[in-house]
Structure 1
Amino acid sequence: MKHLLTTCLALGLIPLAATPPAQAQTADKKTAISLFGSAYEYKGNYGSGFWDWSSNNYGPGISFNRYLSPGLDLGLRGGYVEIKKSTDAGAPFYGSNFATNIVNVNLALKLKLNNGWAFKEDAFIQPYLLAAPGWTYTSREGTFNRNGQTLDLAEDKSYFDVFGAAGINFRLADGVGLFVQTGQHIPLKANLDGDLTRDDNAFDDRFLEHTVGLTVAFGKMKDADGDGVADRKDKCPNTPQGVAVDATGCPLDGDKDGVPDYQDKCPTEAGLAALEGCPDRDSDGVRDGDDACPDTPGKAELRGCPDADNDGVTDASDKCPDTPAGVAVDANGCPLDKDGDGVPDYQDRCPNRPGPASNKGCPEMKVEEKKKLQEATKFIQFDFNKATLKPISFPTLDGLVQILNAYPDYSLGISAHADNKGDDNYNLRLSDERAASARTYMLSKGIPAERIVSHGYGESKPIADNATEAGRAVNRRVEFDVYLPGDPNPAETKYGPAPAIPPAPVKAAPVKKAPVKKAAPKRR
């Protein structure tokens, strides 16, 4: 029986040894054959030879493998070995021995770790795990001695085999791999050594298999994109279906502009990739077929026509070709003038109310109203040494409120001044508070806060001689000046920037006197 098994297995391996190397076992080459040799190590009632290389038994094997996915292969593997063992001298097995021929056939499911997770599919090192249930056939010969009795151990029997292994494949070349693998066979309830004394479990006799082998792959080269050019020759492997290609598998490009015909909107004219293969004579980024001015560089939003002043109106239609950048224009390219006063909005300080160009597009204030502003300073009075307005001031301030309401584009500057009597810093603070008091009154009448600015100048800007009481009375004044948007405050033009207002001095807390203790009366 032993010689029959060896002969059959050898005859099966001869044609495989002559098979020429093929492409790697991948999605393109899905079928592979492996030839291998294994070292087997027995463990049973006669002891354990696991990892004891001196007790190895050797045998050949073959497997047929099929690619299922980047992480999974299916295989059918077979192996043969003769496991031999004899007992040393001594009771109770003196002179016992066995020689068991074993044939394993297993359906192998290989989990490949070179699936793009830990290693690339074409990596040199390709680890894997193997789960391979199958069938084990045993043909045993030998004798069993116990207490002087000798039994013949000859028996042929089959078992269900549980086999698991781990291995590494080394990719030597395209289509050739060398692999090493270690696994354990557990033929359930097998009696490999013939010992009549059996354990209660089904794992009594088993063996390790250490394997070294060579794998070659073969099959028809795949054409993934179906363009009629094999993937190994295809320089454009992802060509869409139905697209005409050349000998290298790349899409045709009749006008040689680098844009394939199936994507080229102008396939008979050499053009630019950015314009889907269409030409652009003036290089303005607008294809000639869409360009209303194909020979003059222009803007895409104007169909390729120029706009020198960048106002959104083409030069051919622009009646105001030199409009400053950023200025809003009408359909003719001329600056907008919403109030129709002849002053364009971008120059008009009052674009929503008509006014002459001499007044920057704003309504001119009437002479009598200007006079009221100039004379208002005469009628503003405060309580002595305070910033509190006297009621006599209210009619004048109410008149100024009416003027501001009549001219909503104008702003008002209030500047307050003092004579030179008293402390300079005190006078500066008092003048600033008086200007603020007048502003607060006008704000209470509904004038927006941003339209009125107030400052105090103290005694720094006299307009009369402080040596006389009449001159000092003139210097104690509040002035009112109107100005247009964008213009400086007239007070700052006349007197310069307002000085910083110093903080008011902090009054010292009164010092408490310590009580005086009276001397105790002397005793007599």
Structure 2
Amino acid sequence: MKHLNKLFVAALLVVGLNVQAQDEDNPWAISFGVNAVSTRFGAASKFEDQFGGFFKTDEYWNVLPSVSYLNVSRHVGDNFSFGITGSVNKIDKVVTRQPGATYYDVTDPGDLTYYGVDGIIKYGFLPKSWFNPYVHVGGGYTWLDEQGNGTVNGGIGINFWFTENVGLTVQSTYKHTFEDQAEANVPKHIQHFAGITFKFGGKDTDKDGIYDKDDACPEVPGLKQFQGCPDTDSDGIPDKDDACPTEAGLPEFQGCPDTDGDGIADKDDACPTVAGPKELNGCPDGDGDGVADKDDKCPEVAGPKENGGCPWPDTDGDGVLDKDDLCPSVKGTAANRGCPEVTEEVMKRLNEYAKTILFNSGKATFKEETLPVLASMLSIFKEYPNASFSIEGHTDSDGSNALNQTLSENRAAAVRNFLVENGIQADRLTSTGFGETKPIASNKNAKGKAQNRRVEVKLIKTN
């Protein structure tokens, strides 16, 4: 008996170290404690007398004052469990009744050793309550010393749970033998049990109190309300569903914050601390020009995106923006795309100067006094940087036609070259010679010949 007690203590230590939590999640249970045996129940002749003396422990009950039973059981589902119970006792009171007698005899059979091994099927009620009654049936084999009988068992019990895994169990079991009570090796009897029950066997890998089978995050400690998943930033959204698990945020942004309250989560907001519209990725647009302030070179003045958010300049103030102005530094007209228009008056001035260009006789070189004239023409050409002109050379009739043709061409080219060398774009000017073919006066006198030796400027009109 001393060794048996040691065995029960060892079992207690093992179970105590391994128990986990909830009943339905811990399929295994172990119970141990004391038991008491009475044959009074089987000795009664009438059913209503069976329970007489049920609680007269001193008179009818055999009690072993030490750990005297062990039950191991496993939950199998739907509030059913199956187990094995082993028990020992000392029988020093046997209750009998002579046929026809109205009294009971209590005899000492000489400290018979009682051994019982029983299978038990239990059905529990109120499984989630601290008060957990149950009924049970089963069968087994019982010995008194070396004599034994098989029994069919049934009874009731109650678990009183102190915690989710530790409770007090009390149970009464009627063991029925099918032999005559007087002749049976083991008489019919009732066995009471009272002991401590531990439930265990559930797996909780992350030790968060939620079993792996119910834990959506079984390897990471978490919270019960999130099926065992953590909520690192405590924003009410579990990390597994949180796009920003380390920053507290809002459900509508999958747990991400919106610091500036503009309806765009910080992670998607190019300006997370300043409110701005969605179309500009959350950045403000102070001047309302559709260019975010951070990208706007002129954030206080509206301007097109193509110019960095700044208004287009009009350098020459002619009403045509520089981006559309072919002559951005010279005032012009919108009709001429910002360039000044060459009027008849301008052409008249040019040709008045052209008539006074003097060449050395028979040559295409300028006389010294002609240079101021050319400079005046040059300034006019510069005023109209978008206009194109034709420089035409003419001679009198002196000399051969071929010589005069060449001379007229060379003199027109000389004027063009002067203008190009002094800043006029070459593609704006053409030069040609007409020799003596287009006189404007008679070649029969000196005055007429002087008029025919001339340079003319023509405006080249473009569509």
TM-score normalised by structure 1 residue count: 0.39
Larger radius of gyration: 2
TM-score normalised by structure 2 residue count: 0.44
